[in-house]
Chains A and B, each alone.
Chain A
Amino acid sequence: MLMNLFKFKGGVKPPTNKTQSVTLPIATAPIPPRLVVPLHQSIGGTPRPVVQAGDKVLKGQLIGEADGRISAAVHAPTSGTVVEVAMHVQPHPSGLDALCVVIAPDGKDEWIARATVDYQSLTPEEVRARLQQAGVVGLGGAVFPSHGKLTASKTVPMDELVINGAECEPFMTCDDVLMRERGEEIVHGAGIFRNLLQVKKVLIGIEDNKPEAVTAMRAAVKAAEEDFEVIAVPTRYPAGGAKQLIRVLTGKEVPASKRSTDLGVQCFNVATAYTAWRALAHGEPVVSRIVTVTGNVQAPRNYEVLIGAPMDELLKLAKPHPDTDGIIMGGPMMGFLVPDHAAPVVKATNCLIAHSPTLFPPKPPEMPCIRCGECARACPHELQPFEMYWFSRAKNFGKTQEYAIFDCIECGCCSYVCPSRIPLVQYFRFAKSEIWAREREKQAAEGAKSRFEFKQLREEREKADKAEKLAKAAAAQAAKKAAEALAAAGASNAAPVAEPSPAAAGAAEAAKKAVIEAAMERAKAQRAAIQPKNVDHLPPAVEQEIAEIDARHAQALGTADTPSGGGEKNR
């Protein structure tokens, strides 16, 4: 099987540190005394809880219903009792809480009735719905609901389906062991995706530092009697990035502005394919996943872990060394230090790395950029990181967008190679979040402005209506009076009936004036009402305080003139 591989530019070769955790097969982590299952575990809408405290649940029972098209259901990872549905800390850099279903396991691990179906007898819509109901999401770390990626483009024929087993992050081996041990089920899962997308070719890409996985997957493809190609790709971080792997295997470059299906290609992680097969062929929703537990530990290993298990409990299984001072979720290149060690394992948790100052030495001081261009040479998206850095630092966010900051996948290659030790990716995350915040602010300001303008318009209209009504009434009155006067004067040859206008108009004018005057009077009274009282004989300290408040007030009024002006300037 000779295949022409393509290259992606940039990339780095950090020490892989993978061998430590692949010596032993996947172990099943024991059921912890308490599971905290976050409802929001995938991109898209937050599932609605469908259980409440005191409910008995079985393993695989629905506890969170998908909300909207891009959302995936959440299930009870084991049988037990719902303790509460409440806010708990998330494995997220922010350390914020989110709604979770807390379950006290009963230890029986009793499944719901699992319906097995032949997915080929179902329509594509039914298959996608089942995947959504089973909570199948991208397990490579992005956790995008898989059913949302399984609709072929209507205009572009689907050429390739890429199954991503590259696993380029150092330390991480969960996909490696999964391919070694459960290869056939991955192949079956890939078959589901192939049928849904109607692709011509299925390419399984694995970095060539995992020869066992390559062999296992080739055997699995053969056993499943499929014609998928298993391709060993050169080991170079980030070869496992979806766009990089697509590039290496197909030569296609998917820009940030396009979907990969627009180019006739789609990409799924091996673990996602595995869970899709388990969901359809075995009726098992996603309630556990393989997690690599490694780093500063005595016994690094891969565990099959229930979603919701606390990270610190899991880490204990691998016997962390005493100098462990943190847990990285994900790989060392793109992961993050979890703010709370008791945070639960979620569908995105592919790897936990015990952090220690010896394993990951503290960063040396940041030096000025010397424009050496190493970052640009390392960038797999061929961006100019140092330019984006200058502009991020200067908070010139418009310029960062000109340099395509939103094409940055935050892979960390630039920070990795920078001789000045500048945390470039950190600057880009900052710039991106600032741009989003400003965008939101701008939208909010625009919303407020249009609401205000509408209110003004409405008030003016009401006023005009009122004045018109008054004028009409006055005119009627005047006409009546004129008519009476005319009648009183007898049927002489005085002014014709059609001549009441000057008097009537004058009366209308007078009425309007009266209304305005009354309004002004009211406003005056109101102003007088809010005049500060008891300000005559104050101690100097209080007087100064009042002066300061007034000054601040004036300043605030002065600067708050153009709420969207600041954002505009930088665009």
Chain B
Amino acid sequence: MELITSPYLLKEASVQRVMLKVLLALLPGVAAYVWLFGPAILVHIALTTVTALVGEALMLKVRRRPLGIFLSDLSAVVTAWLIALTFPPLAPWWLTVTATLFAIVIAKQLYGGLGQNPFNPAMIAYAISIVSFPALMSQWPGTDGHFFSQLQVIFGLTPRIDSMTSATPLDALKTALMLAGDAHTATVASIQANPKVFGMIGGHGWEWIAIAYLVGGLWLIQQRIITWHMPTAFIAGMTLIAAPLWLWHPDTYASPLFHLFSGGAMLGAFFIVTDPVTGPTTPRGKLIFAAGIGLLAYLIRVFGGYPDGVAFAVLLFNICVPLIDMYTQPPIFGMKDQ
């Protein structure tokens, strides 16, 4: 007989419920995505979800782990959705499928599966893809995309035409500033005057997706799935570097608000840095970790060679997690004076 000891009462809680709530919190973002860029994203979500589950099932089989409880924990589905949401909706099907397999098989299962992976699997998928296929990973659809033609692009039935795609607002800003060079023929303000690419605070349309992520993320905090520490620290970290530069030279550096509502900032702040498995666990550790990612993401996206820096910042800070945890252990009950 299995030894059962107290407590005999358990709260209604499960890994599945945690993951399900994360998925629910992503829905506003997905809806905004569909509304702005067309339903192509749904195709990718379907592709990555199926791939992730198949990859997970195969690996569980190889590792001789029970399939049922691990497939239904929905952790692979969360990874799949995050991959779909960070990849360009027009990415070819094989790219998202390969990246998802890499995330599940190598970044997650080979490290021991749920709870054991040191790196965020979705960010691994993004990083290897942008390093291997930089061009494909930078083509985003215009906001007037037609579903059928998008579908044809994803499955390679029609050649990719440049007119269908555009750079992300972050990319557009960076390229325009670079072209202007030291001559300062263009300023942030003049570049952002293009209403086709830029909106009120972030990119045209992009800002609504960011707001939808923000709403979903706040709901996760209210549901006690995540704590306030990481999103707040991420936003603070990014603002801490964006604000002084913007105040110093507003012609060259976009406002912190633009940075927070562009690219992967909001998704990162609420859904990616908050991954419990790959992040620190102490309150102070969480603040350091997320603030560091916010800061580093800004540096990479503004001064680095990639259109966005969240993925690399997350992976770099994943490495530091054991160290951060070790040095941020909170004092225990009765030992606060020591």
- Asked whether B7 lies within 8 Å of A255 as measured between CB atoms, the reply is no
A53 to B3, CA, bound (A): 37
Whether B152 sits at the interface, judged by CB under 8 Å, is no
- Asked whether A417 lies within 8 Å of B11 as measured between CB atoms, the reply is yes
Nearest A residue to B321 via CB reads A371
Shortest CB-to-CB span from A182 to chain B, Å, is 29
Considering only residues 159-183 of chain B, those with a C-beta below 8 Å from chain A are none
- Asked whether A420 lies within 8 Å of B15 as measured between CB atoms, the reply is yes
Nearest A residue to B333 via CB reads A381
List the one stretch of A81-89, A218-226, A333-341 in contact with chain B. A333-341
- Asked whether B5 lies within 8 Å of A425 as measured between CB atoms, the reply is yes
| CB-CB under 8 A for A360 and B8, given A371-B277, A373-B281, A426-B3 | yes
- Asked whether B13 lies within 8 Å of A332 as measured between CB atoms, the reply is no
| CB-CB under 8 A for A372 and B6, given A253-B334, A367-B73, A417-B13 | no
Whether B194 sits at the interface, judged by CB under 8 Å, is no
- Asked whether B330 lies within 8 Å of A382 as measured between CB atoms, the reply is yes
Shortest CB-to-CB span from A380 to chain B, Å, is 7
Nearest B residue to A10 via CB reads B333
Kindly list 14 other residue pairs between chains A and B, CB separation below 8 angstroms, not including A15-B9, A333-B7, A367-B114. A328-B8, A332-B6, A332-B8, A333-B9, A334-B6, A365-B66, A367-B14, A369-B115, A370-B75, A387-B281, A416-B9, A416-B10, A420-B115, A426-B3
| Dominant secondary structure of chain A at its interface with chain B | loop
When distances are taken between beta carbons in the complex, the residues of chain A under 8 Å from B9 are 14-15, 170, 332-333, 360, 416
Q: Number of residues in A with C-beta < 8 Å to the partner?
A: 59
Residue in B13, B69, B330 with the greatest tally of chain A CB atoms within 10 Å: B13
Within the complex, which residue of A12, A258, A335, A381 is in contact with B11, where a contact is CB–CB below 8 Å? Answer: A12
Whether B135 sits at the interface, judged by CB under 8 Å, is no
- Asked whether B14 lies within 8 Å of A421 as measured between CB atoms, the reply is yes
A positions within 8 Å CB-CB of B: 8-9, 12, 14-15, 93, 170, 243, 247, 253-258, 328, 330, 332-337, 355, 360, 363-365, 367-374, 376, 380-384, 386-387, 404, 407, 410, 412, 415-421, 423, 425-426, 429
- Asked whether B10 lies within 8 Å of A421 as measured between CB atoms, the reply is yes
- Asked whether B334 lies within 8 Å of A254 as measured between CB atoms, the reply is yes
| CB-CB under 8 A for A368 and B11, given A93-B5, A363-B4, A384-B329 | no
- Asked whether A382 lies within 8 Å of B69 as measured between CB atoms, the reply is no
Nearest A residue to B225 via CB reads A372
A10 to B281, CA, bound (A): 15
Q: Number of residues in B with C-beta < 8 Å to the partner?
A: 36
B positions within 8 Å CB-CB of A: 3-11, 13-15, 17-18, 66, 69, 73, 75, 113-116, 227, 276-277, 279, 281-282, 329-336
When distances are taken between beta carbons in the complex, the residues of chain A under 8 Å from B15 are 367, 370, 419-420
- Asked whether B8 lies within 8 Å of A14 as measured between CB atoms, the reply is no
| CB-CB under 8 A for A382 and B332, given A367-B114, A370-B276, A376-B281 | yes
- Asked whether A426 lies within 8 Å of B10 as measured between CB atoms, the reply is no
18 pairs, CB–CB < 8 Å, chain A vs chain B: A14-B9, A247-B333, A254-B334, A255-B335, A336-B6, A337-B4, A363-B4, A367-B114, A370-B114, A370-B276, A372-B276, A373-B281, A381-B333, A412-B7, A417-B11, A419-B13, A419-B14, A421-B10
Nearest A residue to B65 via CB reads A368
When distances are taken between beta carbons in the complex, the residues of chain A under 8 Å from B69 are 365, 367
- Asked whether A370 lies within 8 Å of B5 as measured between CB atoms, the reply is no
- Asked whether B333 lies within 8 Å of A253 as measured between CB atoms, the reply is yes
- Asked whether A256 lies within 8 Å of B18 as measured between CB atoms, the reply is no
- Asked whether A383 lies within 8 Å of B332 as measured between CB atoms, the reply is yes
Shortest CB-to-CB span from A443 to chain B, Å, is 27
When distances are taken between beta carbons in the complex, the residues of chain A under 8 Å from B115 are 367-371, 420
A421 to B10, CA, bound (A): 8
Residue in B15, B330, B331 with the greatest tally of chain A CB atoms within 10 Å: B15
